[in-house]
Every structure is written in structure tokens, then in C-alpha cells.
Amino acid sequence: MTNDDGITAPGIQLLAESLKDKYEVMVVAPAQEMSASGHAITIRMPLWVKEERIDGRFLGHSVVGTPADCVKLGLDVLSPGKIDLIISGLNRGPNLGTDVLYSGTVSGALEGALQGIPSMAVSMTSWDDPRYETGVYVVKFLIEHFPWKDLPEFCALNVNVPSVEPEKLRGYRLTKQSKRRYRDYFEARRDPFGNTYYWMLGEVVEDDEDPESDYLAVKEGYVSITPITVFMTDYKLLEELRRRLDFGDKGDR
Amino acid sequence: MTNDDGITAPGIQLLAESLKDKYEVMVVAPAQEMSASGHAITIRMPLWVKEERIDGRFLGHSVVGTPADCVKLGLDVLSPGKIDLIISGLNRGPNLGTDVLYSGTVSGALEGALQGIPSMAVSMTSWDDPRYETGVYVVKFLIEHFPWKDLPEFCALNVNVPSVEPEKLRGYRLTKQSKRRYRDYFEARRDPFGNTYYWMLGEVVEDDEDPESDYLAVKEGYVSITPITVFMTDYKLLEELRRRLDFGDKGDR
């Protein structure tokens, strides 16, 4: 298990505790919050690792690094044996639409997929009232009922859970990553020495009308499950450019 | 223009200088090297901006942040008018295969695409001998001959340039993001106080046999141009899961 909210976050701790009865759980998570860290990895600095305990009980390893660092180090160094499934979460806040690009949570799952391990990112779609118990319920359901063992290499699941009680979930829906995105704006401030600095803020834009959109599923009370890949080639555009350009595969200049 | 090697890097400075005669150039780049920063953005800290000069001449703005931060702040705050094209580079080192996921350079272009501006990431595929003049030559060629004005929203170009003299380039090839990736390993060390830390290292794995692969084009002396998208849904897997699962769109639980 990893996350991007850091090893001290309630989402990962509750999930680890809840699965320990039935499964062997290993936690490797960032020492600090790494939200919006994208698929960053740490290559110019070494990685520091620490054993973390709660009330004396071993919880897992914290890494001064990103979720992708945690997965790599977890698999290569810290794991005592084969890992069957990587779960990145439970994240506080949604990872819908273009969030996928910025999300440290999703990058944890994609890194697992890159390493050939079935992986899923699981996010609670509310910031204020994340209801992690519902996330635990969903993860348990997916572990038992989703054919995650058959996830192909390089592919992962991006799961978003509505913030309602488990019995109020309407079900599960396989979805597409939507074009849900942000309209950014910046708030300028001046420090005591006269220098300007900027806070990045954004308003969410939800104008994707595809009924299979990830955020629509959540809005309608369903758990959204989007199969995602590390391959970002735009095949439609590739074909179009090939038709149009006279340097294609021919190597003319 | 932005990059992930930082505003002091020769790649961005040479490119900016070389295009200034003919085009209006604006540089907004990280204050420090941000390689492998993925598509990270800075949301828990404010962004500091500084005007940078070389020998008294204005070069551009540096931002204590990531390439995606630079693009957002550049477009929203620093730009005096409409931006026609965002170029992220010239990067030192390739961005081929799964590099796309980790690359700060590519994230600069994808962020531009998200903001609806035609964007390209341009990388020199050699670390030791990047030959930025060839990169400048390629960028000039693409500005004049590539229909970048027609790039659809949410799509960008990932360009990789072989490290040879311009006249030795064999041409341009439209390619796919390959599964070129790394086999990671970690080197453990001990600090003077007895704590262990790890350096992440990796060996490149180039076993993708698709003749349209990005890295093959470069190996064969072509400039590789891969159209990429911010949408990471795996449609093939989506269809397969839909056929197979009895909770699909129906919302059964």
C-alpha cells in the first residue's frame, strides 16, 4: 500500500488496519504529504527510509520521497516477497478527469503497473467528509470480486468512491477519464520585504458530456472504475498527421 | 518556453537566443533543475517569481516550482498577450517510452495542451553530448513546417532529437510512445550516524519491437515526433472488462 497524503494520513492507516485480519499488508508511503506530485521520482537526492509505529505497533515504512519512489523502493528493497496487489490510497479528495495527470495517488498505481504488479488507486471524492469506511468497503469488494489478477502490464485501475455510506452506493461503473479540469487563477501577495509571490487556485470545470465520464458516475452515486494506461500516444492524431504530412515514415526532410 | 532543467540550463538559453531574431520569445522556467518531476504542481506552497538576466539582458522569469507551474503562471500572470506555441526544452537527455510519465519536460507541454495552447516538448537524446544546435535546427524546422496550429486541445508533441549534426539527421518520423522503461535497482549507503539511505539507479530496457517506436526512430537517426494526450483511459481494457463483468454500466452491486 502507498498513498500521496503521507503515511500519517487516516485513509491509508484505516485501510491497512482493516485489511490486516485477512491479508498480509505492507505499507510504504511518503513521510510527508505529496499531493499533486504527479509521477515525480527522486533521482538527484537519495531516499531516506524509516520504520513507523503507532502506539508501538509497526505500521510500515515511510520514505522521504514520492509515491512512485515508494513503490519502486518497496518492491525492490523493502518487500520480503512477491507483492500480489498494490493499492494507492485511500486518498482524501477525488482523482477525476485531468487530476489523473497531477495525482500522486494515481502515480503510485501506475508505477506498480509499470513494474508489472496489478495496481489500483482509490480516492474518496470528498475533501471535507471523506468517509474512509466506505473506501474500505469498496476495496474489500474489489479485492474479492474484481479480476485484478488479470490486469495487463502497464495498466492500472483508477477508482473514485462517492462520499456516502456503503449501503447508499448505487453500484460500480466502468468509466472513461473525463476532460474535467481546472480554470486556474493566482492570488498575488507581497512578503514583508516587498517581493511578490503567488498562490495557485483553481475552479473545477465539469463540462464533459460523455455519459461514461468518471465524474458523472460519482455524481450519480456510483463507484467509478477507470482502466488507465501509461501509454499516452494519441492514435487518432497520429493517423491524421500521417495522412497529412509528407514526412511520415519515409524520412524525407 | 519552459523546461525542467531550469532557467540556467544551456538548452533553453540557446533556444531562446536563437529564436529571438524572428519570433517574440517569453521564457518562464524553474529556478532549479526539476528533472523527473512528472506532472507535479505546487499547491501547498506559494510560487516565487524572479526576473532573470544574463549580462544585464533580460532572459525571462524563474519560478520556484515545476514546469507545469511555470506554464500555468506564465499564461495566467506573466504573459503580456496571447501565446501561440509553448516549447518545453531543449531538454538534456531523452524522453522516450515510459520517460514520458516521469518527465518534467513533457509535463510542460501537456500542461500547455491542457490550457488549449499548441505545445511541444523537445529533448536531446544524449546526456553527454546533447548538441543543442541540432535541437534549435529541428525546432525552427517544426515551427515552419509542422501544422502545430492545428494541434487539438489536450494533445501535444513529444519530440526527441538524435545527437548528430543537423545535416546528418535522416529526417522526421511520426512515432508511438514505446514501452522503453527501466529496471530499477537501489544502492544502499550508511550515513555517519548509522542510518541507511538509498540511491535510485536504473538500467534502460529497450525491448519494444514495434517499428513505429519512438526510441527506434532515434536509433535510426530520425527525429521522433510522438503525438501524446492527457487522456490515459485504456479503451481496449475498458471494453474487455465491460464484456466480462456483471457490474458494468448497470450499477449492480
For the segment A83-129, what is each residue's pLDDT rounded down to a tens digit? 999 999 999 999 999 999 999 999 999 999 999 999 999 999 999 99
pLDDT of residue B80: 86
| % of chain A with per-residue pLDDT over 70 | 97
Tell if the CB–CB gap between A33 and B44 is shorter than 8 Å.
yes
pLDDT of residue A80: 86
Q: How confident is the model at residue A39 (pLDDT cuts 50, 70, 90)?
A: confident
For A187, name the nearest residue in chain B, comparing CA atoms only: B46
Among left, alpha and beta (phi > 0; psi -120 to 50; other), residue A251 is: left
Cα gap A1→A109, rounded to integer Å: 10
Contacts for B206 with CB less than 8 Å, ≥ 6 apart: B97, B178, B180, B215
Strand order in the sheet with A28-30: A28-30, A57-63, A47-54, B196-205, B181-190
For the segment A206-219, what is each residue's pLDDT rounded down to a tens digit? 999 999 999 999 99
* pLDDT at A33 > cutoff 90: no
pLDDT of residue B48: 94
pLDDT of residue B43: 86
Query: Which of A190, A70, A181 lies closest to B198, judged by CA?
Result: A70
Tell if the CB–CB gap between A229 and B234 is shorter than 8 Å.
yes
* pLDDT at B92 > cutoff 80: yes
Shortest alpha-carbon distance between residue B231 and chain A (Å): 6
Q: How confident is the model at residue B251 (pLDDT cuts 50, 70, 90)?
A: very low
Average pLDDT across chain A, whole number: 94
Q: How far apart are the first and last CA of chain B?
A: 49
Q: What is the mean pLDDT of residues A239-243?
A: 95
One-letter identity of residue A176 = K
Q: Does B152 touch chain A (CB under 8 A)?
A: yes
Q: How far apart are the first and last CA of chain A?
A: 49
| % of chain B with per-residue pLDDT over 90 | 87
Q: How confident is the model at residue B252 (pLDDT cuts 50, 70, 90)?
A: very low
Tell if the CB–CB gap between A234 and B227 is shorter than 8 Å.
yes
What CA dihedral angle connects B143, B147, B152 and B155, to 10 degrees?
-50
Cross-strand bridge partners of residue A29: A62
Q: Does B14 touch chain A (CB under 8 A)?
A: no
Better pLDDT: A37 or B150:
B150
Contacts for B189 with CB less than 8 Å, ≥ 6 apart: A46, B196, B197, B198, B199
Q: Does B144 touch chain A (CB under 8 A)?
A: no
Q: How confident is the model at residue A250 (pLDDT cuts 50, 70, 90)?
A: very low
**Of A99, A198, A228, A242, which to mutate for an interface test with B (greatest number of B Cβ within 10 Å)?**
A198
What CA dihedral angle connects B231, A231, A89 and A221, to 10 degrees?
40
For the segment A176-230, what is each residue's pLDDT rounded down to a tens digit? 999 999 999 999 999 999 888 999 999 999 999 999 999 999 999 999 999 999 9
pLDDT of residue B247: 67
Predicted complex ipTM: 0.92
Q: How confident is the model at residue B39 (pLDDT cuts 50, 70, 90)?
A: confident
pLDDT of residue B37: 82
pLDDT of residue B250: 46
Average pLDDT across chain B, whole number: 94
What distance lies between CA A32 and its chain's CA centroid?
A: 16
The domains of chain B, with CATH numbers, are 10-179+209-244 (3.40.1210.10)
Tell if the CB–CB gap between B237 and A151 is shorter than 8 Å.
yes
